[in-house]
Copies of this chain bind each other. A is one copy, B any other.
Amino acid sequence: MAVDLQNRLERGKSSTSRSSLAEASSDGSTYSSLNSFELEIIHIFVQTAQVLGLPKSVGEIFGLLYCSLEPLTFDEIMLRLKISKGSTSQGLRFLRNIRAVKTTYMAGDRKDHFVAELRLRNLSAGFLRERIMPHLENGEERLNNLQQILDHSPPEKRKILKERMSYLFTWNKKARGLLPWVLKFIDT
């Protein structure tokens, strides 16, 4: 099982078969490899990231934080997931932008400590706000421009095309009206 998960998550990386949830490191490195619980949670978020059109690394980072009992530092995230500094930095930035991750300050430590937003409602809100709303708003703007173009088209077509456009307008408006409602519904 663990091997299977390992393979799915990190294709082609050397993986020491790890059967249990032990956190000891067998290769002498400071950071433990991922246990099967973590691998599975991470996998779920990686898949979700892909459905949403986000980079895998974003899913990995969020998944790791989601099942961590304490805040993790930049280095811990980077080393445990075996991803680069750049991916870690950009992934964390994205996650902070959509409020999926926040930082906590730990006394006497200069490093940032990252925590996942566990209330998925807030997570969804951030995603909808940062990604979906802009798209819908841009669409509305474009539709407005379109109406002008349409005024120059042959009258016999104009009526039908106007109708089609009005469907799009309606749909756009409804989709935007839907978002707050969706958020309320999944308010976990």
Residues in chain A within 8 A of chain B (CB atoms): 1, 15, 18, 20-21, 36-37, 40-41, 43-44, 47-48, 50-53, 66-67, 69, 118-120, 131-132, 135, 138-139, 142-143, 145-146, 148-150, 152-154, 157, 160-161, 164, 167-168, 170-171, 174-175, 178, 181-182, 185-186, 188
The one of B37, B44, B119, B174 that contacts A186, using a Cβ cutoff of 8 Å: B174
How many copies, total? 2
CB distance from A94 to the nearest CB of B (A): 16
Q: Compute how far the CA of A181 lies from the CA of B174 in the bound complex, rounded to whole angstroms.
A: 13
Chain B residues with CB below 8 A from A44, complex form = 139, 142-143, 168
Chain B residue nearest to A43 (CB atoms) is B142
Chain B residues with CB below 8 A from A67, complex form = 161, 164
Q: Compute how far the CA of A153 lies from the CA of B38 in the bound complex, rounded to whole angstroms.
A: 11
Are the CB atoms of A51 and B135 closer together than 8 Å? Answer: yes
Can you name 29 A-B pairs with beta carbons within 8 Å? A15-B142, A15-B145, A18-B148, A18-B152, A21-B149, A37-B146, A37-B149, A37-B161, A40-B142, A40-B145, A40-B146, A43-B142, A47-B139, A48-B135, A51-B53, A51-B131, A51-B135, A67-B164, A69-B157, A69-B160, A118-B164, A118-B167, A167-B188, A171-B186, A171-B188, A174-B185, A174-B188, A178-B185, A178-B186
